Amino acid sequence: MPDSVRLAKRVAALARCSRSEAAQYIEGGWVTVDGHVVERPHCMVGDETVAIDPAARLEAVEPATLLLHAPIGFDPDAGIDAVLALARPDTRWAEDPSDVRMLQRNFHRLTPLVPLDLDASGLIVLTQDGRVRRRLTEDLAGLEQEFVVEVSGELAPYGLARLNHGLQYAGRSLPPCKVSWQSEARLRFAIKDVRRGQLRAMCAEVGLETTAIRRIRIGRIPLAKMPPGRWRYLPVGTRF
């Protein structure tokens, strides 16, 4: 049996490139060991078969951002295991338009952002990218979010006008937002700086009982037609 060497050294010899370039090939998911993709340049190999994808490109591996359609009851605060139970390689949306290559490393150190109420569903963000994390924490109050809220009951007089401007929540006067009917039992909210429990409380103030809440947009990024429990990539550089 030959002596074990680091995978990067073996790839450098195969590709006739530098160790740093070999590491890029490996981290980019272009290298297999006995037919299995390995993304760790320091992995030790001996007599295993190492192969480089003929389509391999030398490019930096960017941090990933995943857009997840979280189902009702999903609690990202429960920890990373709760996140990875939904965001897995096999739950990627088949119609993901991003054309981003999926890597094993995309599922490491994901931070959930813009959480939902436990009784709500819709778009949340999981990211490794510090730029996205800062945008969706430091600047979140200025980003418009869009929700579809299903309701029952009878709207109080001037209720729609009060939903748009004139209510209070948690001791603060709410800024104007845009609320309109989508159907007889469905309201659309376009709103900034929304707090947990706020939409349900707003509806209750005008005589309506909330039966379902779904977030369909954060800033410029829509949920689209992605079904619950599926995710897609946010292309690097796309702005919220």
Do the Cβ atoms of 162 and 137 come closer than 8 Å?
A: no
For residue 175, give both structure tokens. 């800024």
If asked whether residues 187 and 212 sit together in one domain, one would say yes
Residue 1 has pLDDT above 90, yes or no: no
Residue type, 185: A
Q: Locate all alpha helices (DSSP H) within 53-197, ordered by sequence.
A: 80-86, 130-138, 159-164
If asked whether residues 156 and 169 sit together in one domain, one would say yes
If asked whether residues 161 and 183 sit together in one domain, one would say yes
Q: In terms of C-beta density within 10 A (0-12 exposed, 13-18 middle, 19 or more buried), how is residue 151 classed?
A: buried
If asked whether residues 34 and 151 sit together in one domain, one would say no
If asked whether residues 127 and 85 sit together in one domain, one would say yes
If asked whether residues 201 and 175 sit together in one domain, one would say yes
Residue 203 has pLDDT above 90, yes or no: yes
If asked whether residues 109 and 176 sit together in one domain, one would say no
Does residue 131 belong to any structural domain of this protein? yes
pLDDT digits (tens, 9 = 90+) for 92-126: 999 999 989 999 999 999 999 999 999 999 999 99
For residue 92, give both structure tokens. 């990627």
What is the domain-level CATH number for residue 207?
A: 3.30.70.1560
What is the reported pLDDT for 23?
Answer: 92
If asked whether residues 151 and 133 sit together in one domain, one would say no
If asked whether residues 229 and 135 sit together in one domain, one would say yes
- List the domain range (segments joined by +) for residue 204: 144-218
Q: What is the chain's mean pLDDT, rounded?
A: 94
If asked whether residues 123 and 227 sit together in one domain, one would say yes
Domain count, the chain: 3
User: For 156-180, what is the mean pLDDT?
Assistant: 95
Which uninterrupted H or E stretch holds 145? strand 144-153
pLDDT digits (tens, 9 = 90+) for 30-62: 999 999 999 999 999 999 999 999 999 998 889
Nearest to 137 by CA among 218, 41, 61: 218
What is the domain-level CATH number for residue 23?
A: 3.10.290.10
For residue 170, give both structure tokens. 């948690």
What is the reported pLDDT for 60?
Answer: 85
What is the domain-level CATH number for residue 93?
A: 3.30.70.580
What is the separation of C-alpha 116 from the centre of its chain, rounded to a whole number of angstroms? 12
48 three-class SS: coil
If asked whether residues 73 and 46 sit together in one domain, one would say no
pLDDT digits (tens, 9 = 90+) for 75-87: 877 777 888 889 9
Question: What Rg, from alpha-carbon coordinates, does the chain have?
Answer: 23
pLDDT digits (tens, 9 = 90+) for 207-223: 999 999 999 999 999 99
Query: Which DSSP category does 198 fall into?
Result: H
User: For 145-173, what is the mean pLDDT?
Assistant: 96
